[in-house]
A and B are shown apart, each in its own frame.
Chain A
Amino acid sequence: MSKYNINNSYKAVVIGGSAGSFQGVVKILSQLPKSFPIPIIMCLHRLKHVRNGFVEALSIKSVVQVTEPHDKESIKKGSVYLAPANYHMSVELGNYFALSTEEMVNNSRPAIDITLSTCAFVYKEKLIGILLSGANRDGAAGMKAIHDRGGFTIVQEPSECMIDTMPKAAMAATKIDHVMKVDQIVDFLKELDKQYR
């Protein structure tokens, strides 16, 4: 057992973020251990009609190339995925992505709640959910779904967030296992990585 009371049973990490989360995401991706053992699935609010540029910006400093999956693409260990612009991104039983152009949820497409709650459905207690800085309530219901299915929940320390509405909404909606600064989240992921070595 590690200092965070985690083990090597996790199948995926899912990260949600919105306004003010970009720097935190970059920091996490740039300090990620090489050949991280499980997939990282990210849903970040972004400009709806700008298809290019975001994944490239995230990839510059990332240890692992970030990709925007195609519909029905299989989820692979050690890969980092980003929900594409103007699509909702779900995870399906069978461990692959499904995209959709349904109505916006919480004024967002991609919506964090959709990615988080479909991950919770598929991975159950074998999921770690991380919610970062943001200006609306998207992600709160998703974090609740993760907790309710037995997964592990982390939010960014509100005092460190550029806008703390999102982590605070999640804290009000469900039990959060850890409230952490980005540096601690990095440390946590390194500790998680060690469990698989």
Chain B
Amino acid sequence: MQDIDIADLKRISEVIYQKYNYDFRNYAMSSFKRRVLRIMELKKLNVETLLKKFNDSPMFINEFLDELTVNVTEMFRDPSFWRVMREEIIPAILLNHRQFKIWHAGCSSGEEVMTMCIMLKEMGILHDVSIIATDLDVNILERAKSATYPIKNMELNEKNYIRFQGSAPTLKDYYKEENGYAVFNKDLLTNVSFRKHDLVLGDIFNKFDLILCRNVMIYFNQSLQNDVLKKFHESLFKYGYLAIGSKESLIWCDYANRFIVVNNEEKIYKKIKD
């Protein structure tokens, strides 16, 4: 397998930034390197031919983004997180708002959004919630909109769902099996708007009561994590909630003191200061 050094990675991210206005310059190095190497292997490119491709074929960037972004996700990932959502966080929001807004930042193929919708439906409040789900990668957004997941992933999704519910229910009520895919009932996504949005370069576009951004910022270096947390802070109403991945941490960010930890095990924070 070929290797690639840091100078090459910098050249690549610089070209992408100058030419296509996507900024990977502050991505965490080791995973960015693995992703780029993976693409070079897949498309049979070396550093020079990759750079040439960025110059010669403007459409290549979409292919590149689709492979670069990590789209490994599951429904009800960390079932204990979803129990805390159902039993503590959502009820706390409902105390003050009959209707509220959620942002799934970096929604990938949409499993987390679908999880949220199923949970809200089971709580009887799906129609009181408006959800915006964003990702950088337009191809993956199309997949998320289709509410269709490979059937081979359903075994894991079902297992998570059982651990979430604590009994032996099934997700089968929500989907039909078609050609090796689980096609979920699209009515579940009625109040969801999927949009392209870039966390790194994009603007603040709305205010929310709850933001979920789990296992997205792990691909950023600390300085970029810091910048993105500022955007989340600005995008939250006062006393709104932010959920990140179970092994992520905010403690070193400048804005950490504007949040309190609501649940340390599940990494749920609450904005307490503007």
Contact = CB atoms under 8 A, between A and B. Distances in A.
A87 B29 CA distance: 16
Contacts of A72: 28, 221-222, 225, 249, 252
**Chain B interface residue number, banded:** 20 to 34
Contacts of A187: none
B247 A98 contact: no
B70 A102 contact: yes
Contacts of B217: 71
Interface in A25-66: 49, 51
Contacts of A103: 70, 72
Contact of A70 (B34, B70, B247): B247
B246 A51 contact: yes
B159 interface: yes
A90 interface: yes
B218 A101 contact: yes
Contacts of A73: 249
A75 interface: no
A101 B252 contact: no
A101 B218 CA distance: 9
Contacts of B221: 72
Contacts of A114: 34
A118 B225 CA distance: 21
A84 B28 contact: no
B130 interface: no
Given A51-B78, A72-B222, A100 B249 contact: no
A71 B160 contact: no
B248 interface: yes
Contacts of A84: 246-247
A91 interface: yes
B34 A102 contact: yes
Interface string A67-94: 0111111000000000010011011110
A100 B73 CA distance: 12
B30 interface: yes
Given A49-B160, A84-B247, A93-B6, 9 more contacts: A71-B218, A71-B249, A72-B225, A84-B246, A90-B28, A98-B28, A98-B218, A99-B247, A103-B70
B248 A100 contact: no
A49 B159 contact: yes
Interface in B204-235: 215, 217-219, 221-222, 225
A143 to B, nearest CB: 15
B249 to A, nearest CB: 4
A98 B252 contact: no
A97 to B, nearest CB: 9
Given A92-B29, A98-B218, A100-B219, A70 B249 contact: yes
Nearest to B81: A51
Interface string B18-39: 0000000000111100110000
A51 B248 CA distance: 14
A72 B159 CA distance: 30
A103 B61 CA distance: 21
Interface string A117-154: 01001000000000000000000000000000000000
Contacts of B247: 68-71, 84, 87, 99
A87 B31 CA distance: 12
Contact of A100 (B6, B218, B246): B218
A99 B30 contact: no
